[in-house]
Structure 1
């Protein structure tokens, strides 16, 4: 997918947007499944984390505070639905979606700076997301593939999650 967008048509700016990868617990139906996911995340098990890309756009005015971070997040349309969980566990594809939202500030934990982009990163991420296949299949086409592909497009680093995994000493 990233090869289709390898040369995005965007305005190149003199300054750079900052690109981050963040991890949060996988979401699950309330009850025991949610407790297991939260515990695995707390223990640092890499395979029980959900990854997303955060972009902090550059602002040239020193008197103006930086805009909020913009999050690009590929996940199941209904991650807490029991039927989604069953489909995921059986290896079937489920409908996915890319959520785009703003954050007031970057997370303090499990958020890594991965590089700067010379292009308008939000514009490139928006175009990338609009061409992304929305059939989510865990282990074959999921948040990891989305994150790796988008980071490669924005900062040029291939397989960023492998580097982060080895540098953080995460389990699993």
Structure 2
């Protein structure tokens, strides 16, 4: 939890009253909710965290891109990675899914959906359109952002990460490769 009087811009503010009632993070019992979902077949069916076999969707040519900020204070990027790995295992295996259907991108330093000391401007819509229309799966997308003017980096498809090539402008995505 944030120290008293300290805020994560746009997300958590301590010491202030919420306009919509008590802050959820202070009153929600996550373990109790999970136990309830796991005990009820209907709740489990409605919980999309269990919808991991997407072979029918992928079998009809569906493409799915994920992204998650590694510094998200609400939901752990590890949960998205866990879901992605379970989905891949149940939908034909990681290699097949990465080749034909789905990619995940982790964004270092990014908070919930955007924000933070990060490069949080990137275009996954064009990436998925190019995959659907031209058959080119996105191995990386270039990210920029106002936190670091003039800097760009590739966001690499999971499980790869951007690594400096050892030469070239360290502020340019072109000086990095996905490994």
What TM-score range do you get, normalising by the shorter chain? under 0.3
TM-score of the superposed pair, with normalisation by structure 1: 0.25
Normalising to structure 2: TM-score of the pair?
A: 0.24
Instruction: Select the structure with the greater relative contact order (CA < 8 A; seq sep ≥ 6).
Output: 1
If each structure's strand is expressed as a fraction of its own residues, which one has the higher value? 1
Asked which structure has the greater CA Rg, the reply is 2
